[in-house]
Amino acid sequence: TVLDDMSKYDHEQVVFCQDNATGLKAIIAVHNTVCGPALGGTRMWQYATGADALTDVLRLSRGMTYKNAISGLNLGGGKAVIIGNSRTDKNEALFRRFGKFVNSLSGKYITAEDVGISPQDMTWVNMETNHVAGLPGKSGDPSPVTAYGVYVGMKAAAKQQFGSDSLAGKRVAVQGVGHVGEYLVKHLTDEGAKVFITDIHEDTLKRISNTYKAEVVGLDAIYDLDMDIYAPCALGATVNDDTLSRLKCSIIAGAANNQLQQEDVHGKIVMEKGMIYTPDFMLNAGGVINCYAEVANLTPEWAMAKAEEIYNTTTSILTRSIQENIPTYAIANKMAEERIEALGKVKLSY
């Protein structure tokens, strides 16, 4: 049942939103508000079943609790899903009705964009509630902040692995040069790293390689490259049985979510191979830091300074991983739980 699912993931509240007039079907999941109001984006997706939508929103909202907690933000974790086709089912009435549901939570949940949702959609939501971030003309594209956090975290990992945090001369392969990937390539080439790039879009590759002196490699060839650092900035689950038998890098550090195909299995193999894996949800928190700056009326400078803390957080995780002989992803989860426990004196048990 739904209540069983909720308690399995330890959620505080799940709201099912239904409106026949607009055809809205949505679920808002508030996982944990110990550190502050639950912030997380709304995803619009044509789920095959309601159960699929529920599983997704429960899983994603829990992930936001961990991301927000380890980033030191005064935010809890939440997420929403709208069941529908983001190309054909969008209209003002639907999003305003959704906004009324968000508003009914009185600020316990703050929404933003996720897959399938644009800033324009959020302006409709904003007509009914102020509990929304990612509006046009506000904090804007989070990618520069995300890329900066990934870059400083990568440097912290280099310090641990190579004894210096300089990336000059290091061979770094960036998989996916979209919004975040491009900013990351700029930081890396500015510092004198030898950068390799791959992407499914030829025109993007051509533009980036010309602008930043990065060398293009094949979509699959990236895994066999002689490199120091592998930076996944496109898809999840690229660290798996197949790629781990091929990757020769010392560090895995990128923006993509859920890089380890199976956290426990592949996180452990990475450690046994002597590679450093910088936990993705900590490394790519620049996006949510940017959202927080918008809702808390903080400046872009504040957001960049907060993203810079990812350097120290990475160092703490890597140090504890060695001391406790536990993979980095598990240390990151522990650190997030410790913050929540300290603030709320609640024992979480997953």
Over the Cα atoms of the chain, what is R_g?
20
Near ligand NAD in 129-168, by CB under 6 A: 142-143, 146
Binding residue for ligand NAD, selected from 12, 113, 128, 199, defined by CB under 6 A: 199
Binding residue for ligand NAD, selected from 172, 255, 307, 340, defined by CB under 6 A: 255
Dihedral angle computed from the Cα positions of residues 85, 91, 95 and 96, in that order, rounded to the nearest 10 degrees: -160
Cα 143 to Cα 284: distance, rounded to the nearest angstrom: 9
Nearer to ligand NAD, 129 or 284 (CB): 284
Cα 174 to Cα 79: distance, rounded to the nearest angstrom: 29
Min dist CB 265 to ligand NAD, Å, is: 21
Near ligand NAD in 291-350, by CB under 6 A: none
Nearer to ligand NAD, 267 or 287 (CB): 287
Residue nearest to ligand NAD (CB): 178
Min dist CB 19 to ligand NAD, Å, is: 29
Residue 16's beta-bridge partner residues? 27
Near ligand NAD in 209-248, by CB under 6 A: 219, 233-235
Structural contact between residues 122 and 132, judged by C-beta atoms closer than 8 angstroms: yes
Tell me the catalytic residues.
79
Structural contact between residues 224 and 202, judged by C-beta atoms closer than 8 angstroms: no
Min dist CB 347 to ligand NAD, Å, is: 29
Binding residue for ligand NAD, selected from 51, 93, 168, 200, defined by CB under 6 A: 200
Near ligand NAD in 10-39, by CB under 6 A: none
- Assess 275 for contact with ligand NAD (CB under 6 A): no
Min dist CB 101 to ligand NAD, Å, is: 25
User: At 226, phi and psi to the nearest 5?
Assistant: -80, 100
Q: How many residues bind ligand NAD (CB under 6 A)?
A: 24
Min dist CB 308 to ligand NAD, Å, is: 16
> What's the number of CA atoms in the CB half-sphere (13 Å) around residue 148?
19
Q: Which stretch binds ligand NAD (CB under 6 A): 132-140, 255-263, 270-278, 310-318?
A: 255-263
Nearer to ligand NAD, 32 or 290 (CB): 290
Q: Which stretch binds ligand NAD (CB under 6 A): 249-257, 292-300, 304-312, 333-341?
A: 249-257
Cα 14 to Cα 38: distance, rounded to the nearest angstrom: 12
Nearer to ligand NAD, 27 or 185 (CB): 185
Q: Which stretch binds ligand NAD (CB under 6 A): 10-18, 24-32, 154-162, 254-262?
A: 254-262
Cα 31 to Cα 64: distance, rounded to the nearest angstrom: 8
Min dist CB 293 to ligand NAD, Å, is: 13
Cα 293 to Cα 39: distance, rounded to the nearest angstrom: 12
Pairing between β-strand 76-83 and β-strand 38-39 as defined by DSSP bridges? parallel
Binding site for ligand NAD (CB under 6 A): 142-143, 146, 175-181, 198-201, 204, 219, 233-235, 255-257, 284, 287
